[in-house]
Amino acid sequence: MDANAYYRDFDLESINVTLRFCQQEYGDVNCVVWDASLVLAKYLETLFLKNNKTFDSKRVIELGSGLGCVGLAAACFGANVQLTDLPENLHQLKRNVDENMPWLKGSVQTVALTWGTTFESEPYDFLLMADCIYYPEVVEALVKTMTELTAPNTVILICQELRETEKQKNTWQMFLNLLIEHFEISYVPEEEQHPIFRSSDIVLINAKKKKIAK
């Protein structure tokens, strides 16, 4: 293990599983499990508790997977998941998949995906993303990828920590403006989220792709 690496445990109590993630003390945006990832992963658990067939054999894609927390949780609940990130980020992502392989009820693949490029696939049942909105220069490409990978019946869950810098506020607003051109959105109320893993500065959005009028 790298000198600046350490493990973080994350419990999915409903299935008696503890996921382990190798993190880095310093690095780029993909070096740690961000709080928004924990909030979204725990929201998936609340959906699973309502109906334990929610994710069974469903095709799930996570964009900007980072260390894989959200997608791996979905796989523990039975989904067949593609974890995607930039090519240079796949090594650590694969390491965390290997670390948690014994707990996966579904399947997991790690796939290189640069937003805005063509990615051949049928629409997914679920598209998941947590804390992906950092850089304004990739927002348009991200929304393009979201539209290409989804259909009107795809469940799209977007979790984002709202940060106070002007750059982050502007980037988030830019994303929302583009998002509502292609998707209907609603905010998941805090009371419907996990009672502990939720926060007033982390928003959780449920989006549905708009049907194209004929």
**Residue 63 clears pLDDT 80, i.e. is over it:** yes
Q: What is the three-class DSSP state of 108? A: strand
**Residue 134 clears pLDDT 60, i.e. is over it:** yes
CA-to-CA distance for 120 and 149, rounded, in angstroms? 9
pLDDT tier, 23 (very low <50, low <70, confident <90, very high otherwise): confident
Q: What does the domain layout of the chain look like in residue ranges?
A: 33-209
Query: Residue 45 is encoded by which pair of tokens?
Result: 């658990």
Query: Residue 64 is encoded by which pair of tokens?
Result: 């900007």
The pLDDT, as a whole number, for residue 26 is 53
* Spatial CA neighbour of 106 closest among 23, 197, 15, 176: 15
CA-to-CA distance for 152 and 208, rounded, in angstroms? 6
How many other C-beta atoms are found inside a 10 Å radius of the C-beta of residue 29? Answer: 13
Query: Residue 166 is encoded by which pair of tokens?
Result: 């002007």
The pLDDT, as a whole number, for residue 2 is 59
Q: How far is CA 146 from CA 141, 157, 186, 208, 214, in A?
A: 9, 11, 16, 11, 21
Give the right CATH number for 33-209 from 3.40.50.150, 3.20.20.70, 3.40.50.720, 3.30.43.10: 3.40.50.150
Overall pTM surpassing 0.85 (yes/no): yes
The pLDDT, as a whole number, for residue 146 is 97
CA-to-CA distance for 123 and 135, rounded, in angstroms? 26
CA-to-CA distance for 93 and 82, rounded, in angstroms? 11
